Chain A
Amino acid sequence: MDFALSPEMETYRDDIRALVAEVVTPEVTDRQHTTGTFNSYELNRALAERGYLERAVPGLGKGDPVELWLLFHELEKAAAPVDGISMALMIAGVVAHAGNDHQKATVLPDLLTGESLVSLGYSEPDSGSDVAAAATRAVRDGDEWVINGTKMWTTMAHEAKWILLLTRTNLDVPKHKGLTMFILPMDTPGITFDAVHTMGTERTNATFYDDVRVGDEWRIGEVDGGWKVMGVALAFERGVMGGTAVGIPLLRHFHEWAAHEVGDDGRRAIDDPVVRERMARVAIDNEVATLLTLKAAYLAGTGALPGLEGSMCKIFATEAYQKAARWFAHAAAPASLLQFHEPGAAADGWIEYDLRHSPVTTIYGGTSEINRNNVAERHLGLPKAR
């Protein structure tokens, strides 16, 4: 094996690092925690201006998944607000992969400007892990489709220009075979949304579709072929762009705090052997999470769709992140209880934030249980148990 980045990749990484250092200021990072919208148009625009968005989209530009990994690895390591841009790039990849000419001419270039966001309309009030049970109906009416239903966890919908929508078009076939995907402008008449606020500060939404009428040009993939489109989107979401580097800024933030702050017992946390052992273990987990994610990206680069590897790195990275957040919250207690901007907050409030944010990471983008089912069935060849 050869783990070296090519000189070209190194230059690309250094460029991204420089851009992040310039654009992702403490104000930008802080804003996501006050607004609940984990997006920075400054960052998105800066990436677009340098051509990095187009270059990174799978199947477009360079379309090298290792470069895509590099981009997100650098952004996540900097704790930059990436939820907006990661969904935009993911769906740009889906449109490049499965979209029609109309979508490639309208949606795709728009997403690549960095000015537009997209929301993912998969889950519903009654279907989350069983996402193929989606009940939002799309019914043909002449040349048009009429859509009715409700979607949950449509993060960024309040900012987004586009919504990717999983609908039911056929009730007479097994549930996976009766789904059709659309990508719609959010300002299509009949679409409304309500805010859903979360423990991790990030705002998400419920979106409602009330006799939404759209032309067939907004359908993406085949009629009743929505599950296939979903697979493409999930392969990107769980692997390369899936927030598998979250443990890295956590360790860095904790390290900075632990190396300088003297506790009640008169010594620094970093001098405590229990803390030091855990810091070593977190560094190892970060390395493993990074390698598993890189491997998923690398496989995608060889033409494979790394859905399984994406499941594997997501399980590992998110559970390691939760463990690290718990360990460091213990080590920095009680200062770890204090939130951003409170005097004396451990790592300026990052430890408290990670403790609060980490629970959702084993849920969104496919729960650990669903991902383990994938591994058990598709990697270990065990019988389907659902």
Chain B
Amino acid sequence: MLLDLTEDQRAIEDVFGGFFRRECPTTVVRAAEPLGFAAALWARLADLGAPAMGLPEAAGGGGASLADLAVVADAAGRAIAPVPFVDHAVAGRLLARLDALDDAVLDGTTVATLAVRPAVAGAPAWSLVPSGAVASVVVGLVGADLVCVRGDGPGTAPRNHGSMPIADRSTAGGTVLATGAGAAAAFAVALAEWRTLTAAALTGIARSAQDIAIRYVNERHQFDRPIGAFQALQQQLADLPIMIDGAFLLASKAAWAGDRGTPGTIDVGHCDVTDFETLAAMAFIFAGEAAAHATDRSLHAHGGYGYAEEYDIQLFFRRARGWTLVAGDPSKECLALSDRLYGPAGAVEGSRG
């Protein structure tokens, strides 16, 4: 048992945490709006080997674990970096597992992404694909097929809450990588990886929201004292580190389960859950709540200034919601999670533990 980062992961945290602090202040985030993609930043991140980091060594990648990638995702989330690190890493790993990886994805000159919401059979497009505006490779389910479509993205995104490079992407002209149960299983693993890494990124957003709030309430004076001295604010802000710690532990447990690669257990009656896809769903839902709550409380602590574009907290507030809701309705994700935990609704015997 180890509930801290490994030494290697601390080194990863130093490198990428430092990189994003240095290279991605919020001026860079603002400059990349409304598209939400900073090509120069992505190129510099590629120089550090980030796009290939999580790809298998045999394919020329860095062989990093999901847990290692979660450390980078956390750092990217703290900076709300306008780069498709998570989407690209997850799509690349899926392509590698299906022997469909190419050098352009490996070095990041081509952005790959995952259509996180499947399209029904015959649907002309995946809607609002994360990084779909800038990706040249899109992998996703169309009915029972796992399809890879190549071709440049539109380069623009519909104006959206999170200033994300999302776009509808055509399902036509793609290569079928797998079909039936094999396709569903491969997609499920990729989606669980996406949820795990996005959970880590959302945790990063929550961390920054907390830091911004603490800085502000120490600076801002009302009634002749810093507003951070008022218990009413302190009590609200005290929830943030709890949710952040919980979110990061849960995302890390999901990553651990994913890296283990062995079937886990789902015994919710004894809170004994080691199944990767289940933990990934839990981590994503909880981190979404944590990021939403932390940015909400942080914005509120700013008073009217929190609502002003000039202050950075609004950048984090919008992405906390955007990075969560791009996957669809969280309530529906809870229902899908319930199917895993308790068996499907309407089943004669719903119990799995």
Which A residues lie at the B interface, using CB under 8 A? 1-6, 9, 66, 77, 245, 248, 251-252, 255-256, 259, 268, 270-271, 273, 276-277, 279-281, 283-284, 286-288, 290-292, 294-295, 298, 309, 312-313, 315-316, 369, 371-373, 375-377, 379-383, 385-386
Contact = CB atoms under 8 A, between A and B. Distances in A.
Contact of B286 (A256, A284, A371): A284
Nearest to B240: A380
A252 B67 CA distance: 31
Contacts of B253: 1, 3, 287, 291
A66 B214 contact: no
B322 to A, nearest CB: 21
Contact of A375 (B242, B282, B334, B351): B242
Given A287-B271, A291-B249, A5 B1 contact: yes
A283 B249 contact: no
A280 B250 contact: no
B270 A77 contact: yes
A270 B1 contact: no
B351 A259 contact: yes
A290 B274 CA distance: 13
B341 A283 contact: yes
Listed from nearest, the 7 A-B pairs whose CB atoms lie closest are A376-B234, A372-B238, A280-B334, A288-B246, A375-B238, A291-B249, A252-B269
A287 B267 CA distance: 11
**Which of A4, A279, A380 has the largest number of chain B CB atoms within 10 A?**
A380
Nearest to A286: B271
B239 A1 contact: no
A128 to B, nearest CB: 17
Q: Point out which of B218, B242, B273 has the most chain A C-beta atoms below 10 A from its C-beta.
A: B242
Interface residues of B, number: 59
Contact of B4 (A1, A372, A376): A1
A287 B210 CA distance: 23
A288 B282 CA distance: 9
Contact of A312 (B230, B245, B346, B350): B245
B40 interface: no
Contact of A245 (B214, B243, B269, B271): B271
Contacts of B210: 380
A255 B269 contact: yes
A276 B338 contact: yes
Contact of A290 (B3, B271, B285, B351): B271
B237 interface: yes
A276 to B, nearest CB: 4
Contacts of B214: 380-382
A2 B1 contact: yes
Contact of B237 (A259, A270, A380): A380
A226 B134 CA distance: 63
B284 to A, nearest CB: 10
A283 B241 contact: no
Contact of B228 (A6, A66, A375, A382): A382
